[in-house]
Amino acid sequence: MARLRLGIDALDDALLVCLAARRRLVAAVARVKQREGLPVRDAARERRIDERGQSLARRLGLPPSLARAQLALAVADGRCLQGLSPDPGQGAAPPDDAKLAPAMTLANDPSLPRALLRAIPPPARWAPLLRRLPSSWPGRALEPAVQQLLAAPLRDGQLDFLVGRRLGIAVSDLGIGWVFALRGGRLHATPEPAEATVRGTATDLMLLASRLEDADTLFFQRRLELTGDTELGLTARNLLDRLPWESVPLGVRILLHRGARLAREARDARRGEA
Ligand SMILES: C=C(O[C@@H]1C=C(C(=O)O)C=C[C@H]1O)C(=O)O
């Protein structure tokens, strides 16, 4: 039970970290609107957010009413942030409490915790969803994060051994991977094949990235595998241990840490059931 609750706490934290990030983006949108003289409220955009939520909820097996209520709360907050009334009617009625009902009912349901952990699809089930995304997305998604993480070692020349070399990360259970090359002082995702690749499951790679488990243990237990040019791979692996973790934004660190713990809990819960 304590372990299950750890998973729930991690998810709750992730929800709040996401909300904080969402508010920052809403504030940025508000500034653009003000600059361009656009209306603050955008009903079409709000409808589109709801439609996307319903579609994702269906694919995840999430109750559509829960997805609708959660997103309605977030959008109401987005409107408030921009000085509007939280309700779409612009000040006519107070926020519609009835909209909160599905979320509250679920939160009071004592069977939710176990159901929630079990409901997290194993990474292998995400693979078909990820395959629908354009093939260039993994690189695009990770490039800015890696660039930020490695900014200091890049400046200090610690990554010079990577100039002109191609290093891969492969997520075995998600069927996705990245190949990075260092060119012009920046790391770029490249479609070319890697010379050395670190391979592991999504959970183990997250445990590594969040420093909940160290590279030595993971390689020793063969949960991480190094293929290709061993020397290049080992140099990269040593670099992993020296990454300036403090330079990663706090929100990202928290999300990664909590996400990794959650992934481990969910994996252990599935193993326990098997
Ligand atoms: C942030 C925006 O402004 C408002 C707030 C929204 C939100 O919180 O997502 C969506 C539409 C707008 O009514 C936007 O237009 O994107």
pLDDT, residue 214, reads 85
200-204 LR contacts (CB < 8 Å, sep 24+): 200/170, 200/171, 200/172, 200/224, 200/225, 201/123, 201/171, 201/172, 201/173, 202/123, 202/126, 202/171, 202/173, 202/174, 202/263, 203/123, 203/260, 203/263, 203/264, 203/267
222 found inside a domain: yes
Q: Is 79 in the pocket of ligand 1 (CB under 6 A)?
A: yes
Would you say residue 233 lies in a domain? yes
Whether residue 189 is found in the same domain as residue 148? yes
Ligand 1 atom 3: residue of nearest CA:
41
User: Which pLDDT score, from 0 to 100, does residue 135 have?
Assistant: 62
Q: Which domain holds residue 182?
A: 131-243
Same domain, 43 and 7: yes
**pLDDT at residue number 200:** 93
19 alpha carbon – ligand 1 mean position (Å): 14
Q: Domain with 145 in it: what CATH number?
A: 3.30.1050.10
Task: Tell me how far the alpha carbon of residue 33 lies from the centroid of ligand 1, in angstroms.
Answer: 10
6 and 118 inside one domain: yes
Q: Cα of 87 to ligand 1 centre, how many Å? A: 12
Residue 274 lies inside a defined structural domain of this protein: no
Same domain, 88 and 194: no
Whether residue 116 is found in the same domain as residue 140: no
- Residues 102 and 153 reside in one and the same domain: no
Rounded to an integer, what distance in angstroms lies between the CA atom of residue 124 and that of residue 140? 22
Ligand 1 binding pocket includes 50 (Cβ within 6 Å) = no
Residue 178 lies in a domain: yes
Residues 135 and 102 in one domain: no
Distance, CA of 93 to CA of 42 (rounded, Å): 19
Question: Between vectors from CA 27 to CA 11 and to CA 79, what angle results, nearest 5°?
Answer: 80
Show which of 78, 98, 122 is a domain's final residue.
Answer: 122
Residue 14 and residue 93 share a domain: yes
- Same-domain status, 6 and 115: yes
Please tell me the residue having the least CA distance from ligand 1 atom 2. Answer: 26
How high is the pLDDT of residue 211?
84
Distances in Å between the alpha carbon of 186 and those of 163, 164, 182, 237?
A: 10, 11, 6, 19
In a domain, 272, yes or no: no
The pLDDT of residue 101: 34
Q: What is the total count of domains within the chain?
A: 2
Q: What pLDDT tens digit does each residue of the chain (274 aa) get?
A: 887 888 788 888 888 888 888 888 898 899 999 899 998 889 999 999 999 999 988 888 889 999 999 999 999 989 888 887 766 654 333 344 333 333 333 333 333 355 566 666 777 777 777 766 666 666 666 777 777 778 878 888 888 888 889 999 898 988 888 888 888 878 888 889 999 999 999 889 889 888 888 888 898 899 999 999 989 888 888 877 777 777 777 777 777 888 888 888 888 877 765 4
How much helix, strand and coil, in percent to the nearest 5, is found in the chain? Answer: 65, 10, 25
Residue nearest to atom 5 of ligand 1 (CA): 78
Ligand 1 and 46: CB distance under 6 A: yes
- pLDDT score for 139: 63
pTM, two decimals, is 0.54
> Same structural domain for residues 43 and 85?
yes
pLDDT at 136: 61
Structural domain ending residue among the three candidates 89, 122, 155: 122
Tell me if 65 is assigned to some domain: yes
Domain boundary among 75, 105, 122: 122
111 and 166, same domain (yes or no): no
Q: Give pLDDT, residue 98.
A: 31
Q: What is the CATH number of the domain that holds 30?
A: 1.20.59.10
Q: Is residue 255 part of a domain?
A: no
Q: Say whether both 71 and 166 belong to one domain.
A: no
**Is residue 182 domain-resident?**
yes
